[in-house]
């Protein structure tokens, strides 16, 4: 079986975990956590990086930081993972869903502004497959209406918009290091704070609502409960694993791009069969997080997944439109979001991981071409 995903160990993960244990500091904000924070801030220009136990936690921190409350509205894409919006629903917000664009699963930026009203508090963009949304336009809209922007960059490590790292453009950014991502720690995430007004409070929220971080820097002589918060810190063991990955990020990214480009080269002819391939806008880089196809119909996709499974190749479909989910369907305002629904029914993700060989890719693509009688 060629699996859909396989976690990659770069070599020093267990060495660094042993080192973290020998340091006798395996709770949050140890030596490796600090190394990871510094890496991200130096390499990508993030103003403040804070590791979290998951991207979900980073998004929940963002919702608390922005003082989201009952009656507020948050604009977000429907074609995304539930964590993108659940973080804001937990604070009482109403989610106003935006359709995907016709060319790409990212949100249709043209559809954002008509949805804004006096209750709108934030826009949450998702950089699907690590491909940037049009952030200049999003930020212009946000500035015009005095809104916050949160970048859900769960899939977007080492990806850029006009040369600027994704996660560094909005007021806040959230990343994932789940085992299915390019850079992993099993579970794990990160909140990026680009608005200096939010940095101090972000540290407090992450430390159970206490000013413990300031205390350890010697900025206060004691710490106490000063705000709401929770325990969002990952163990330094997780950070140790992550740091080993970060040391090899260029090698990992280079190989993933080779795999992505081989897929694209082999499957470009599918366009003549009415099958969509990933589209990269001129302003976006490619971090090779995933390779997907957009079939002509749900029926065709179902048959293709089953066909590949018969050949011991594991391909999967992806998100289901959240505006039609059992939990939110009755809360949605009733607008049709046809592009989100189309990607829900037609998008198929192909195997993508560091140790996938060129021969594996050729086997997969030959089977796909045979399915389409090419």
User: How many domains does the chain contain in total?
Assistant: 2
Q: From 246, 267, 295, give the residue that closes a domain.
A: 246
Q: From 246, 271, 296, give the residue that closes a domain.
A: 246
Do residue 320 and residue 363 come from a single domain?
yes
Low-confidence ranges of the chain (pLDDT < 70): none
Radius of gyration of the CA atoms of the chain, in A: 21
8 A C-beta contact, residue 107 and residue 101: yes
Q: From 226, 246, 266, give the residue that closes a domain.
A: 246
pLDDT at 104 (0 to 100): 96
pLDDT at 219 (0 to 100): 79
Q: List the domain range (segments joined by +) for residue 40.
A: 13-246
pLDDT at 217 (0 to 100): 75
pLDDT at 222 (0 to 100): 77
- The CATH number linked to 342 is 3.90.1150.10
- The CATH number linked to 156 is 3.40.640.10
Do residue 237 and residue 317 come from a single domain?
no
pLDDT at 177 (0 to 100): 98
- Its pTM stands at 0.96
Do residue 97 and residue 126 come from a single domain?
yes
CA distance 305 to 234: 36
Alpha-carbon distance values, 208 to 60, 68, 173, 217 (Å): 13, 18, 20, 17
Question: Where would I find the H helices in 126-272?
Answer: 135-144, 199-206, 212-216, 236-246, 249-267
Do residue 26 and residue 173 come from a single domain?
yes
Residue 365 domain-assigned (yes or no): yes
Residue 308 domain-assigned (yes or no): yes
CA distance 187 to 135: 28
CA distance 202 to 85: 19
**Buried (b) or exposed (e) across 104-134, using 16+ Cβ within 10 A?**
bbbbbbebbeeebeeebbbbbbbbbbbbbbb
Do residue 285 and residue 312 come from a single domain?
yes
pLDDT at 285 (0 to 100): 98
Do residue 296 and residue 229 come from a single domain?
no
Residue 139 domain-assigned (yes or no): yes
């Amino acid at each position: 079986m060629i699996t859909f995903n396989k976690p990659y160990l770069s070599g020093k993960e267990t060495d660094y975990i042993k080192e973290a244990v020998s340091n006798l500091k395996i709770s949050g904000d140890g030596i490796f956590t600090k190394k990871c924070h510094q890496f991200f801030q130096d390499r990508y220009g993030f103003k403040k990086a804070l590791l979290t136990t998951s991207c979900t936690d980073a998004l929940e921190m963002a919702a608390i930081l922005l003082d989201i409350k009952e009656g507020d509205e948050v604009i977000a894409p429907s074609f995304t993972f539930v964590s993108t919006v659940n973080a804001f629903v937990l604070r009482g917000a109403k989610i106003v869903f935006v359709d995907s664009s016709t060319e790409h699963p990212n949100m249709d930026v043209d559809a954002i502004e008509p949805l804004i009203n006096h209750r709108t508090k934030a826009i949450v963009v998702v950089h699907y497959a690590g491909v940037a949304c049009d952030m200049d336009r999003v930020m212009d809209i946000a500035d015009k209406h005095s809104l916050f922007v949160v970048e859900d960059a769960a899939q977007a490590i080492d990806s850029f918009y006009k040369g600027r790292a994704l996660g560094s453009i909005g007021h806040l950014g959230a990343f994932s290091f789940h085992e299915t991502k390019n850079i992993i720690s099993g579970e794990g995430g990160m909140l990026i704070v680009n608005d200096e007004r939010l940095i101090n409070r972000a540290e407090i929220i992450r430390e159970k609502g206490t000013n413990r971080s300031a205390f350890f820097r010697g900025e206060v002589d004691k710490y106490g409960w000063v705000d709401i918060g929770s325990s969002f810190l990952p163990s330094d063991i997780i950070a140790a694993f992550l740091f080993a990955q970060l040391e090899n990020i260029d090698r990992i990214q280079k190989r993933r791009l080779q795999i992505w480009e081989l897929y694209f080269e082999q499957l470009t002819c599918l366009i003549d069969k009415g099958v969509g391939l990933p589209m990269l806008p001129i302003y976006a880089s490619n971090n090779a997080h995933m390779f997907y196809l957009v079939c002509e119909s749900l029926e065709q996709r179902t048959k293709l997944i089953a066909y590949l499974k018969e050949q011991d190749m594991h391909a999967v479909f992806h998100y289901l439109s959240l505006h039609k989910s059992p939990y939110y369907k009755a809360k949605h305002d009733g607008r049709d979001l046809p592009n989100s629904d189309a990607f829900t029914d037609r998008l198929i993700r192909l195997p993508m991981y560091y140790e996938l060989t060129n021969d594996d890719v050729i086997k997969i693509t030959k089977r796909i071409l045979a399915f389409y009688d090419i």
